[in-house]
Amino acid sequence: MKYVGIVLLCLLGLLVVLIAIAALKAVKIKAKPNTNTPAINPTKQEADDYAAKLSEMIKVPTISLRGNTDLSQFYKLHEVMRKNFPNVFEKMECTEIEGNLLLRLPGKDPKRNGILLMGHQDVVTADEPTWEKDPFSGEISGGNIHGRGAMDCKSTVFSEFQALEELIAEGFEPPCDVYLATAVDEEISGGGAPMLVDYLKSNGVHLDVAMDEGGAILKGQLPTMDGWCAAIGILEKGYIDVKIKAKGKGGHSSTPPKNTPLTRLSKFVADIENDQPFKAEISAPVYAMLDQAAPYLGFPLRMVLGNMWLFKGLLTKVLPVVSPMCNAFVKTTFACTMAGGSQTPNVVPTEAYVVCNLRPSPHQNAEASLAVLQKYADKYDLELEVIHARSASNCVDYNGEEFGYLKKCLNECYPDAGVIPYLMTGGTDCRHYEAVADNCLRFCPIKMSNEQLAAMHAANESIGVDEVAHCVKFYKHYIKNHK
């Protein structure tokens, strides 16, 4: 009994020491405010001019719809772009493949790897009844530019083109080739970006970096994070659409048999939601994200995330239940999105189905995630038909030169913002560029509020006039100083 007491006391002492070490580290890593003057400073006149040009692009409703092959709106957008970026279209070598654009500004050394900035021309529909402005008016009011695509992602495309427009006017000659790429069907996971990548590949082009939409400069994305933080997407989760089919004898609904196809499918979906059977793990990129976010957080969260050596196990257990977003960072997610059964209310179906969408984690790839599903399917005698499956993308080397350079530019241009790598739970066109680029960074250097972020693919999308101006100047700074 005496020994048990001593052991307990020792354990308690050890715990106190460990927590004291963790608390000390939390004090040490706290981010100090960076009071440097920003390297970019757009004028009000520039901001107003940019807003007017972006507004013109928003006015062209380049909506992507599956099955639609009419590119006329995209050609209209090209006309607007040719008018507003005359230097780009005159000095850059332009290749157009079915509305997708690839432009190249030749560098001084043609042997060197190039750099590429990209964003998509298409937008999602804007049918929500809660739009307060006409989504294709491009209205500029209240310090914002309003409309579908204002954020996702015409402000990105505009800023990239405008940066090159100004650099060319200033007589800038890049050390390596600089490319602009913009596809017409990102929102429907179309073939535009792959076509451009094939073209680059067939021309023997290799890129040091391809930078697409994805992360942005956000505020309060994590609890107790008060300041701005630039979240750079370093990889994206995988993607699976799978149809789960159930067969049965059917029959009249007045004398229903047990275990009909719909009953089994319902049990299958309910089981997976209850069990949450996918593997929880803090993979290396998520570890890096949490670790690098820690200095910007308040106490005690800073202590927990800043001491992963001590709290990783606990976090692996806690994160899945904190929020759907935290769960998505550490697990393959599962959502049942479509379903079908009998065509008639009083007929038990002989066949029924559900379609599920999964986003495989970097640590549990598409095959392993489907294997989990298969076990549940076997339990209820269901059949899996994989419609589409891919694992998580490659991860950028977040200790490497290109990530470091982007971080340096952010520190110079947005000294008030922290910088962290992050795992994207959604997808971008950027993954296709892994075939030709060493670093696929998913990030647009623009500040946006949480309300603006929430309006992505929803009503009342907008972006700040001043923020777009800073974004243009950032891209200029980035391209101009890239070695």
> How near is the Cβ of 427 to Zn ion at its closest, in Å?
9
Closest to Zn ion by CB, 139 or 212:
212
Rounded CA Rg of the chain: 25
Nearer to Zn ion (CB atom), residue 120 or residue 476: 120
Q: Is the peptide bond before 110 cis (omega within 30 degrees of 0)?
A: no
Tell me which stretch binds Zn ion (CB under 5 A): 144-152, 308-316, 331-339, 465-473.
144-152
101 sits in which H/E element: strand 100-105
Beta carbon of residue 16, minimum distance to Zn ion (angstroms, whole number): 49
Residues 235 and 285: beta-carbon distance below 8 Å? yes
To the nearest whole angstrom, how small is the minimum distance from the Cβ of residue 28 to Zn ion?
A: 39
> Distance between CA atoms of 68 and 46, rounded to whole angstroms?
37
Considering the rule CB under 5 A, would residue 105 count as an interface residue with Zn ion? Answer: no
- At residue 122's C-alpha, the angle toward residues 405 and 195, to 5°, is 70
CB-nearer residue toward Zn ion: 189 or 411 = 189
Q: Is 152 in the site for Zn ion (CB under 5 A)?
A: yes
157 counts as binding Zn ion under rule CB under 5 A: no
Q: Give the CB-side neighbour count of residue 356, counting CA atoms within 13 A.
A: 27
- State which residue, 153 or 286, has the beta carbon closest to Zn ion: 153
Among residues 138, 93, 352, which one has the least CA distance to residue 244?
A: 352
Q: What's the closest the beta carbon of residue 158 comes to Zn ion, in angstroms?
A: 14
# residues near Zn ion by CB under 5 A: 3
- Write down the least CB distance from residue 447 to Zn ion, Å: 17
Q: Does 461 bind Zn ion (CB under 5 A)?
A: no
Question: Of the listed pieces 28-36, 212-220, 306-314, 464-472, which binds Zn ion according to CB under 5 A?
Answer: 212-220
Strands 178-182 and 100-105: antiparallel
Residue 236 binding Zn ion, by CB under 5 A: no
DSSP-derived secondary structure for 148-167: TTTTTTHHHHHHHHHHHHHH
153 binds Zn ion (CB under 5 A): yes
Q: Which residues of 417-427 are buried (b: 16+ CB within 10 A; e: fewer)?
A: bbbbbbbbbeb
Instruction: Work out the number of other CB atoms within 10 angstroms of the CB of residue 48.
Output: 13
Beta bridge partners of 364: 361
Residue numbers 344-363 binding Zn ion by CB under 5 A: none
- Our CB check for Zn ion shows the closer of 174 and 233 to be 233
CB of 64: closest distance to Zn ion in angstroms? 10
Determine if 467 is a binding residue for Zn ion (CB under 5 A): no
Tokens of 38: 């920003």
Name the one range near Zn ion by CB under 5 A: 13-21, 65-73, 210-218, 333-341.
210-218
- Residue 58 binds Zn ion (CB under 5 A): no
* Nearest residue to 341 via CA among 333, 332, 351, 329: 351
Least distance CB 152 / Zn ion (angstroms): 4
The residues that touch Zn ion, with contacts defined as CB under 5 A, are: 152-153, 213
